[in-house]
Amino acid sequence: MRIPKGWVPVLSKEIIEELFRKDLVELQAPKEKVVELLHEVLLAELMVEDRLNEEVREMLKKFDSEIEKGRLDYRKLFELTKQKIVKERNLIL
């Protein structure tokens, strides 16, 4: 995640406040509930890349011996694998 987790609640509140202030949204639930829901959504979206990185690490464990022997470049293999999964799943990072 590129944004610290501690910032997500603050960002959520600021986004909702700004949308409300500019009359861009009409809340049909209490503001606190909307902020909480946005917090959950933002956190889930921001963690997509973290989960993907962990998945790629797990996949590359199969090649530990080859990587240690210098036959494979871990960073290059990691990036190629990650790019392939992003493309296959149509992820936006």
54 and 85 part of one domain: yes
- pTM for the predicted model, two decimal places: 0.67
CB proximity list for 54: less than 8 A, separation 6 or greater: none
Mutual orientation of helices 48-60 and 31-46 as an angle, nearest 10°? 30
32 and 52 part of one domain: no
pLDDT at 1: 61
Distance of CA 66 to the CA centre of its chain: 30
Distance (Å, whole) CA 85 – CA 81: 6
The predicted-structure confidence for 3-50, as pLDDT tens digits, reads as follows 888 999 999 999 999 999 999 998 899 999 999 999 999 999 889 989
Domain count, the chain: 2
Residues 56-82 have a mean pLDDT of 89
Q: Look up the domain containing 22 and give its range.
A: 7-46
Distance (Å, whole) CA 3 – CA 28: 29
DSSP line for 8-19 = HHHHHHHHHHHH
Residue 70 lies in a domain: yes
